[in-house]
Amino acid sequence: MKQEQDRDSKRYRLSYDIHTHTTFSHGKGSIEDNVIAGKSKGLKAIGISDHGPGHLTYGVKRRNISVMRKEVDRLKLLYTDIDILLGVEANIINLSGKLDVTEEEIGQFDYLIAGYHYGVLGEKPMQSIGLHLQNYILSGLLKMSTKRQKALNTELVVRAIYENNIKILSHPGDKGVFDIREIALACADRGTLMEISTWHDWLTVEGIKEAARTDVSFVIGSDAHTPDRIGDCQGAVSRIKAAGLDFERVTNLIVE
Ligand SMILES: [Zn+2]
Ligand SMILES: [Zn+2]
């Protein structure tokens, strides 16, 4: 009982939050709004990571990437007590392991997040539509899966991890059935952080337990689509506790 009280009296916060969205994709705040929110939460660094341009409905417009870069560089001069970074939440597009950003575009970002989302067609539209539909109908609606589907989804993510320099894999396990152990092994090997999201319920408690059996490191991402959610770590901390994960393995979690 006393131990429980001690645990509850701790304060949890993030040192940095580099998974946030703005109006350049489907977030509600501007880049500056997110920076101000990050400052108010006491973050050392804030990252802007709007959706990759390959997403049909809410991807960032390619022409806006340089606009965002200029805005981040302008704000860095204005707000010197917080690091401001420009990233992207790129979409894993098909089994080639490619992302929906070009080499030239990657050069404008400070880091890459990547995740699996519906609404991205890439180079093999029919194959992508088939995979998305299968995942949406079977996993999303019917809560079912097949071995083949799980193997395909896992291969998609593992290839992307090996073919790209991905800092964070966003909400692993979301929107399909994946072999979390295989993905965690790839992330550990490549130094990619697995996200424990507070916007989504992924990684799940079971997913955290599974991944924790490898050497992978974790990061909490607010995935904030509104400035008030920036720096939010509550839901992630609850799942971390439930999974019994050592807080030390979460790179941006401060426990006081
Ligand atoms: Zn996402
Ligand atoms: Zn996101």
Residue-wise pLDDT for 161-199, tens only, equals 999 999 999 999 998 899 999 999 999 999 999 999 999
Residue 100's pLDDT is 94
Report how far ligand 1's centroid is from the alpha carbon of 2 (Å): 39
List, as ranges, residues with CB under 5 A of the ion ligand 2: 89, 223
For the entire predicted model, the pTM comes to 0.93
Report how far ligand 2's centroid is from the alpha carbon of 1 (Å): 38
Check whether 142 has a pLDDT greater than 80. no
Answer with the residue of higher pLDDT: 120 or 233. 233
Residue 7's pLDDT is 57
Segment 28-50 shows an average pLDDT of 98
pLDDT digits (tens, 9 = 90+) for 192-210: 999 999 999 999 999 999 9
Check whether 238 has a pLDDT greater than 60. yes
Report how far ligand 1's centroid is from the alpha carbon of 200 (Å): 8
Report how far ligand 1's centroid is from the alpha carbon of 9 (Å): 32
List, as ranges, residues with CB under 5 A of the ion ligand 1: 115, 170
Report how far ligand 1's centroid is from the alpha carbon of 208 (Å): 18
Cα–Cα distances (Å) from 89 to 11, 20, 73, 206, in that order, read 29, 9, 19, 24
All residues at 6 or more sequence positions from 25 whose CB lies less than 8 Å from its CB, including other chains: 50, 51, 55, 58, 59, 60
pLDDT digits (tens, 9 = 90+) for 78-100: 999 999 999 999 999 877 889 99
Report how far ligand 1's centroid is from the alpha carbon of 50 (Å): 9
Check whether 124 has a pLDDT greater than 70. yes
Structure tokens, 162 = 């090996």
Q: How far apart are CA 45 and CA 75, in angstroms?
A: 13
Report how far ligand 2's centroid is from the alpha carbon of 3 (Å): 35
Pairing of strands 168-169, 193-197: parallel
Report how far ligand 1's centroid is from the alpha carbon of 7 (Å): 31
Report how far ligand 2's centroid is from the alpha carbon of 145 (Å): 24
Structure tokens, 180 = 């979390």
Coil, strand or helix: which one is 244? Answer: coil
Residue 5's pLDDT is 45
Report how far ligand 1's centroid is from the alpha carbon of 81 (Å): 28
Q: How far apart are the first and last CA of the chain?
A: 20
CATH number of 8-255: 3.20.20.140
User: Element (H or E) spanning 252, and its range?
Assistant: none
Residue ranges per structural domain of the chain? 8-255
Mean pLDDT of the chain: 93
Check whether 1 has a pLDDT greater than 50. no
Check whether 6 has a pLDDT greater than 60. no
